[in-house]
Amino acid sequence: MASNKLQAAKAGEEDDLAIDMSPMIDMVFLLLIFFLVNATMIIVKQDANVTPPVAKNSIKATDGNGRIVVNIYKDGRFFDEMGSDRGRQLVTDEDIFDYIKKAKEEEDNLGYTPKLHLRGDKEAVFKYCRKIIRISAKAGVDQVLFATYNFER
């Protein structure tokens, strides 16, 4: 008999117990905001006037940090990452060298390894790419990425 009364008294206490979920929800939102703020997205500005070639064995880049973008038009003109719409044209070898050198210093200050990201038009002659690669090597950038499509657009 006494045990039934004791169990009945304990059963009444369990009904009053409840877990407050609001701190846990707050913590979930804080973690979500933390990960969103610390996440880095690969954003490479693309010039609509450049159509990269198709390479069936191309691999999608996973790291977008440290990229120095140079657009190469089919007529041999060079533009910075913004392209002909909002960017500046790199006319002389000194312009190209200065642009790459300045971008390299910015990436070094951020702690990234600078990489030359060539966006050459599929109708451009390779000698234009070779020219940019040589100038970037003089500026201290020795890694080169070629922008390509994996399929025909």
Q: How many Å apart are CA 138 and CA 142, to the nearest integer? A: 9
Pairwise pLDDT comparison (76 vs 43), residue with the higher score: 76
Vertex 129: Cα angle to 113 and 149 (nearest 5): 80
Report how far residue 127's alpha carbon sits from residue 144's, in angstroms, rounded to the nearest whole number: 15
pLDDT at residue 114 is higher than 60: yes
pLDDT digits (tens, 9 = 90+) for 80-100: 877 666 677 888 889 899 999
The SS3 of residue 70 is strand
Q: What is the pLDDT of residue 136?
A: 92
- What does the mean pLDDT of the chain come to? 82
User: 67-146 — its CATH code?
Assistant: 3.30.420.270
Domain chopping of the chain, boundaries: 2-38, 67-146
pLDDT over 80 at 18, yes or no: no
Query: What is residue 84's predicted lDDT score, i.e. its pLDDT?
Result: 63
